[in-house]
Structure 1
Amino acid sequence: MFPRLYTSLLNITIHSLCKAQQLEKAETILIDAIRLGYFPNINTYNNLISAYSRIVSFNAAYSILDRITEAGLTPNVVTYNALIAAASRYSLLSTCIHLFDEMHGLGILPDVWTYNTLMDCFFKNGKPDEAVGIFRDVLCTGDDIMPCATTFNILIHGLCTSGYTGNAFRLFRKLQEHGFEGTVATHNILINWLCKLRRTGSARIILKELEETGNVPDASTYTTVMKCCFRSKKFEQGFQIFMEMKSKGYTFDAFGYCTVISALAKVGLTREANYCIGEMVKNGIELDLVAYNTLINVYCREGKLENAFGLVNELQECGMESDQYTHTILVDGMCRSGDMDGAERHLKLMEMKEFKSNLVASNCLLNGLCQAGQVEDAMKVFGRMEYKDDFTYSMMVHALCKAKQFFAAARLIKTSLIEDVKVLKSAQKATVFGLRSTGYKREASQLRSAIMVAKYTRY
């Protein structure tokens, strides 16, 4: 009895050390145990295989087989499952197949986890047909090996990742007909992929079905559907899911709140955004830089610049440094409020801080000046800009056309063609049409020809 107890204690110790990634200590304990006459069993080495595969490499894990033989022990199905899982972790598909054949050669019968790991490896290596074939092999074994929930989850997830979401959905419905209701993980897989395809309605149906099965959706389930609603611009539905999560006692971190606040602010639902801000503060969530930037953005969109600058001061008092995005938000906020001089001064302050690039902030100022009809001032800012992108040129061309300065717009388009910058087709057409409508048909034809030549030489 006592030797068996000592071996069990040895295994627990080695398992704990391996879990803490302290392999050297685990090996030292093993050597000391053997020296004292307490010999390890196959479970001891199985723990080492799993640890070496996670922390070192597959080859290091595979070398444990020699030590098992030297100890006079026989590998079992757990040993080979650990090795196949290790090979799968490193995407060694041919090695997985070799280990599976080696098992059969040694007379070790695979179990459901062997097949699960193999199936997952085939999916990861882009071979869905072979993975489905493994599933069929499981079914052909009869009652010897019964597929479990993990088997179905691997199959459904693998079909989705391989681009067969429709097949995965139909498989799930077929499994339901045979009594498999699915776990929370099963529903999360389907919800996640339906959301990626922007099929919000189908995702919400799966969420409702999950609740009806008696399983409790986790925070990940709700968050996935909520984000999908926001991406699909179904903001009210997304906010409803947020409120449902709150009513069920799920807690949000700063990132979760900021996701909701940012989405609501973008569509002008400031009352709802402010409610979330209040909840965030009430729950005592510690704000990070991303959270501060989100809140500053909300206040800027509402025109509450004093509150926004107040948060910037608070940020500094907390020992955090505002970043380029913080100041870009402030420039945009001042432009929205019509304070172009303040926005320009703040942009110069950003230049003094020597950020990597102030392109986005400069574009915000340029857009604000163009919207206010201050085209001459916009051209001065445009001329000072060190970096310009497609948006910069397109915005300036549109503004010049609106001011009926078609020759200046045409010059800008020709410059963009030389610098290989893509001006929006709508801006190009507006310039050509403007030149033609004001009687400069030859100049319009020349510009159109230059655009066509650039188009074909570019490709």
Structure 2
Amino acid sequence: MPFWRPLSRRLSTKLLNITICGLCKAKQIPKAETVIIDGIRLGVLPDAVTYNTLIDAYCRFDTIDAAYSVLHRMRLSGISPDVVSYNSLISGACRKSLLSRSLLLFEEMVAAGVTPDTWSHNIIMHCLFKLGKPDEANRVFKEILLRGEVHPATYNVMINGLCKNGYVSNALALFRNLQRHGFVPQVLTYNALINGLCKARRLKEAKNVLKEFGESGYQPNAITYTTVMKCCFRCRLFEQGLEILSEMRNLGFTFDGFAYCTVIAAMIKTGRMREADEIIEVMVSSGVRPDLVSYNTLINLYCRQGRLDDALKLLDEIEEEGLECDKYTHTIIVDGLCKAGDFVGAQNHLHYMNRLGFGYNLVACNCMLDGLGKAGHIDHALNLFEVMEVKDSFTYTILVHNLCRARRFRCAAKILVSCLKCGFQVLRATQRAVIDGLKSIGFACEARKVKARIRLARFVP
């Protein structure tokens, strides 16, 4: 017999809810449902808390439809769904990227006479920003302001949403206005604004906000510094980025693999392989255990340096650490083998990926296509192109570019036209190379036809 046999109805419902909550957290929803049925048989009736716990669990671990069906059960039990019920549904739909469903649920809540609270509005604002509707999100924000129901989290949602929709200046203006009215920014507020400024490459303002952050009494965390450091590297201000790295270490932050990989990736992209090697040594000596992203960065470094044996050894190390390689890991290996001229090895690795269950890898095939073209094996590249299951605009651009390099302009023109017919686009520089190439070998008439086909493709969807 279940252990919650009632001593009093109130106490029993409380114990029932505790049991349901524990089972739901353990993702044991069917068992939670069984407990509810057993409780009803024993005369312990579930209340709004019981059903709301169940709704939240279904939203997190099952489908929104399953969660929504609980509302009907509540009504049959004589319990009206409340704002918590709808907030769980709206939030769950948003997490699953069912943004339009979130908006419909909000409208249903209002129509049912349930008054939205601060969290309801925050979720809806977040949805509207994700849908690319900042004006509507701003309208909701103004309504909240007029009612005086603003929570600090609301400001965070607004600033973050404005930044992600490209309205960084508006976010900064709102931030300054809020400060003048006594609003004390939180760590999340500063991080959202700094991240937005960095993505807009407004490094100077980002560093000023970072300085304010440090003087505010809050302590910027590793995410804050890593964001600014990435911005420095993106703006090619490598010395400033390394200064941020040094400052982080001096402040005693636990430097994770992500931050190290940010530095290593920046060094790789700019060809500063020696500095990248030094950062790797620092990372290893610091005792940081690499995650898969870290390993992928290291494999990429070794492949760029032509150290394929070291890169392949890391694959074994990944397995020893209990991690599983992803598509990106194997794509880096395929690209490295192609750059080293080992096309047989690259082909074998593609087959190996299929055996592992990764399926067709378009990016890896594009890497091999490019490698064959650059190595002068243009006929092999054409054969690979013909048998590729899926193609994208990069596939066509790569082949057309390499055909131009091999001065096979007529073939390049045919591929370019077929690309346009499929609705893909090739880079304009590559288009110009085809047209100029045709003219250079005396096929001006064909060049005009290709030019006309390109012009037509711009107007016909």
TM-score (norm 2): 0.73
Q: Measure the CA separation in 2 of the matches of 1:391 and 1:88.
A: 38
Q: 1:23 aligns with which of 26, 29, 51?
A: 29
Q: Measure the CA separation in 2 of the matches of 1:294 and 1:127.
A: 36
| Contact 1:11–1:44 (Cα < 8 Å) also in 2 | yes
Match of 1:97 in 2: 107
Matched AA of 2:370 = N
Deviation per CA, 1:243-265: give whole Å up to 9, x if none.
33333344455454333212212
Match of 1:394 in 2: 401
Deviation per CA, 1:299-334: give whole Å up to 9, x if none.
4545xx4x54244245347658883421422442x4
SS at match of 2:112: helix
Q: 1:226 to 1:21 in 2, by over 3 A?
A: same
Q: 1:60 aligns with which of 65, 69, 74?
A: 69
Q: Measure the CA separation in 2 of the matches of 1:272 and 1:229.
A: 16
Structure 2 counterparts to residues 22-421 of structure 1, below 5 A: 22-36=28-42, 38-54=44-60, 55-56=62-63, 57=65, 58-69=67-78, 77-79=83-85, 81-82=87-88, 85=91, 90=98, 91-103=101-113, 111-124=117-130, 127-142=133-148, 146-287=149-290, 291-299=294-302, 301-302=304-305, 305=306, 307-313=307-313, 315-316=315-316, 323-332=330-339, 334=340, 343=341, 346-353=342-349, 355=351, 358-361=365-368, 363-364=370-371, 366-367=373-374, 378=376, 381-385=377-381, 386-387=383-384, 389-395=396-402, 397-398=404-405, 408=407, 410-411=409-410, 413-417=412-416, 420=419
Q: Which one is further off, 148-157 or 34-43?
A: 34-43
| Contact 2:48–2:81 (Cα < 8 Å) also in 1 | yes
Deviation per CA, 1:70-127: give whole Å up to 9, x if none.
xxx66655455445545766434243133224336xxxx6543344344445545555
Tell me the CA shift for residue 174 of structure 1.
Answer: 0.5
Q: 1:235 to 1:24 in 2, by over 3 A?
A: same
Q: Measure the CA separation in 2 of the matches of 1:19 and 1:290.
A: 29
Q: Measure the CA separation in 2 of the matches of 1:314 and 1:124.
A: 38
| Contact 2:24–2:32 (Cα < 8 Å) also in 1 | yes
Deviation per CA, 1:376-411: give whole Å up to 9, x if none.
xx3xx112322464334435535x6xxxxxxx5555
Is 2:454 aligned against 1:455?
Answer: yes
Q: Measure the CA separation in 1 of the matches of 2:280 and 2:195.
A: 27
Q: Measure the CA separation in 1 of the matches of 2:89 and 2:291.
A: 42
Deviation per CA, 1:152-174: give whole Å up to 9, x if none.
12222333445433322211111
TM-score (norm 1): 0.73
Matched AA of 2:217 = G
| Contact 1:18–1:26 (Cα < 8 Å) also in 2 | yes
| Contact 1:187–1:206 (Cα < 8 Å) also in 2 | yes
When Rg is computed on C-alpha atoms for both structures, the one with the higher figure is 1
Matched AA of 2:235 = S
SS at match of 2:139: helix
Tell me the CA shift for residue 353 of structure 1.
Answer: 4.7
Unaligned runs of 5+ in 1: 335-342, 370-377, 401-407, 436-442
Matched AA of 2:448 = S
Q: Measure the CA separation in 2 of the matches of 1:285 and 1:326.
A: 24
SS at match of 1:424: helix
Match of 2:423 in 1: none
Tell me the CA shift for residue 177 of structure 1.
Answer: 0.6
| Contact 1:255–1:291 (Cα < 8 Å) also in 2 | yes
| Contact 1:203–1:225 (Cα < 8 Å) also in 2 | yes
> Percent identical across equivalent pairs?
38
Tell me the CA shift for residue 417 of structure 1.
Answer: 4.9
Tell me the CA shift for residue 274 of structure 1.
Answer: 1.6
| Contact 1:7–1:40 (Cα < 8 Å) also in 2 | yes
Q: 1:457 to 1:130 in 2, by over 3 A?
A: closer
Tell me the CA shift for residue 425 of structure 1.
Answer: 5.3
Unaligned runs of 5+ in 2: 1-5, 352-359, 386-395, 421-425
Q: Measure the CA separation in 1 of the matches of 2:410 and 2:197.
A: 48
Q: 1:87 to 1:458 in 2, by over 3 A?
A: closer
Match of 2:16 in 1: 10
Matched AA of 2:336 = I
Structure 2 counterparts to residues 439-450 of structure 1, below 5 A: 443=442, 445-446=444-445, 448-450=447-449
Q: Measure the CA separation in 2 of the matches of 1:200 and 1:310.
A: 37
Q: Measure the CA separation in 1 of the matches of 2:318 and 2:68.
A: 49
Q: Measure the CA separation in 2 of the matches of 1:448 and 1:80.
A: 62
Q: How many residue pairs align between the two structures?
A: 409
Tell me the CA shift for residue 183 of structure 1.
Answer: 1.0
Q: Measure the CA separation in 2 of the matches of 1:420 and 1:87.
A: 38
Deviation per CA, 1:243-301: give whole Å up to 9, x if none.
33333344455454333212212213233312221133224445566644533443454
Q: Measure the CA separation in 1 of the matches of 2:35 and 2:26.
A: 14
Matched AA of 1:15 = C
RMSD after superposition: 3.8
Q: Which one is further off, 317-326 or 195-204?
A: 317-326
Q: 1:251 to 1:418 in 2, by over 3 A?
A: same
| Contact 1:45–1:68 (Cα < 8 Å) also in 2 | no
